[in-house]
Homo-oligomer: A and B are copies of this chain.
Amino acid sequence: MPITKIKLILLAILISTHLFSQEVGQMERILSPEISANNEVTFRIKAPGANSVKLSGNWMPSSPQGQRQLVDLVKGPKGIWSVKVPALAPELYGYNFVIDSVTTLDPANLKVARDGTFRTENMLYIPGAASDLYWAKEGPKGTVQQIWYQSPTLNLTRRMYVYTPPGYNAAKDNYPVLYLLHGGGGDEEAWPTLGVANNILDNLINSGKAKPMIVVMTNGNPGQAAATTVTPPIKSEMQTPQGMASMLFEKSLVNDVIPYIESNFRVKKNKESRAVTGLSMGGLQTQNLSFENPNLFQYIGVMSMGFADLSRFGINVDSSKRIQQILDLKKAKPALYWIAVGKDDFLYESVIKMRKDLDAQGFKYIYRESAGGHTWTNWRVYLSEFATMIFK
């Protein structure tokens, strides 16, 4: 039953919107996406005037040239286009429709997430073991706060998201803190939305697989007070890659964010109770933070980033300085240095280089290689694993 007719007169008194309140008559609701019992998915859209409707999902293979191979929807009665795709593995997917060459959302699916400065896409959750941590399941849940704090280092009032675990308010305990960094093009909303960090932590903590912890999700672009959808960029010269090269984000995390968290939350204020991990640009920042401050973090996770040649961004690493940094961090003996990357990641070679350089100094780390590439699919898995290895 793909279409439900709703008598709008029944809704007229209830609706809180300018447009529909003026309308009278019948309204069609298209059911899309529709997930069958065996996880086949039917996508539908009413587009009587369209010449072509395609589906672009992040589960689809790409050509050797990197073009995703889109799937055609077929036009049926009443101008409703549809396609049923074969059973999808459990995962939190992103997708769009492409209508007459324009990438658009599925208007019937209100689950929407913004991927940094790139696009807005629909979310599709296929339940199952592999995606079980990503849903807001029954059980106690932590709190996510949008906090504005002073950053004297950047001369900005900035925004971050802070997760406190289930029971934080009622407890008297002090908690350890994970600093969780996003990638280039992203902002402080990346991990709480596409990364579903709060669901992952709730579910791991409730099942006893992770220790209760506070998770701090900052904005890693030193030229921004907050996501550009919230406030305009204030220092455009500090947008990445210039901002990345400035190392100002790393300084502000140490000088502004950590003191704020340690003054305003019930946290344990020692190295053993601090962890940091980040993906891509945030992986670089994680490297920088731990090399520059070898005694600050006990648990360090670098996701989808190695020792890449970043000279085009004005980032030049002196090789003897790098060796000294590795030796200093080795001496500081962090309990965990974890490197995770997908086999198809375009930064895979940089991770090989990093491992080689670390091995040359006898620096111990754990290496985790997954399938796939530079994707949120991997980063959610990496967070799910990293969170179980820390504060134990």
- In the complex, the count of this chain's copies comes to 2
Interface size on A, residues (CB 8 A): 92
> What are the interface flags for A43-54 relative to B under an 8 Å C-beta threshold, 1 for contact and 0 otherwise?
001111111100
Nearest B residue to A27 via CB reads B118
Contact residues in B for A159 (Cβ distance below 8 Å): 141
**Residue A114 at the B interface, CB < 8 A?**
yes
Which of A183-191, A208-216, A286-294, A359-367 binds B? A183-191
User: Is B102 a contact partner of A45 (Cβ separation < 8 A)?
Assistant: yes
Query: A112-B112, A190-B16, A373-B22 are known contacts. Are A100 and B100 too (CB-CB below 8 A)?
Result: yes
User: Is A118 a contact partner of B20 (Cβ separation < 8 A)?
Assistant: yes
**Residue A246 at the B interface, CB < 8 A?**
no
165-216 of chain A: CB within 8 A of chain B: 169, 182-186, 190
User: Is A374 a contact partner of B21 (Cβ separation < 8 A)?
Assistant: yes
**Residue A392 at the B interface, CB < 8 A?**
no
User: Is A185 a contact partner of B11 (Cβ separation < 8 A)?
Assistant: yes
**Residue A324 at the B interface, CB < 8 A?**
no
Instruction: Determine which residue in A14, A66, A101 has the highest number of CB atoms from chain B within 10 A of its CB, and name it.
Output: A14
**In the bound complex, CA of A176 to CA of B23 (Å):** 39
Which of B17, B48, B282 interacts with A115 by CB under 8 Å? B17
User: Is A23 a contact partner of B281 (Cβ separation < 8 A)?
Assistant: no
Contact residues in B for A13 (Cβ distance below 8 Å): 184, 241, 280-281, 308, 310, 313, 347
**Residue A226 at the B interface, CB < 8 A?**
yes
**In the bound complex, CA of A134 to CA of B7 (Å):** 35
Nearest B residue to A346 via CB reads B21
**Residue A268 at the B interface, CB < 8 A?**
no
User: Is B118 a contact partner of A105 (Cβ separation < 8 A)?
Assistant: no
Which of A83-91, A145-153, A251-259 binds B? A145-153
Q: How far is the CB of A290 from chain B (nearest CB, A)?
A: 20
Nearest B residue to A150 via CB reads B140
Nearest B residue to A23 via CB reads B66
20-52 of chain A: CB within 8 A of chain B: 20-24, 45-52
**Residue A129 at the B interface, CB < 8 A?**
no
Which of B114, B116, B143, B226 interacts with A148 by CB under 8 Å? B143
Q: What 9 pairs between A and B have smallest CB-CB spacing?
A: A16-B183, A14-B184, A104-B104, A22-B66, A18-B375, A141-B148, A49-B101, A49-B100, A21-B374
Supply 16 A–B pairs (Cβ within 8 Å), ascending by A.
A13-B310, A14-B241, A16-B185, A18-B375, A19-B58, A22-B62, A22-B66, A49-B51, A49-B100, A99-B99, A99-B104, A110-B117, A110-B229, A111-B229, A112-B112, A169-B264
**8 additional A-B residue pairs with CB within 8 Å, beyond A46-B101, A104-B107:** A15-B374, A17-B185, A17-B374, A18-B377, A47-B100, A48-B101, A111-B229, A143-B145
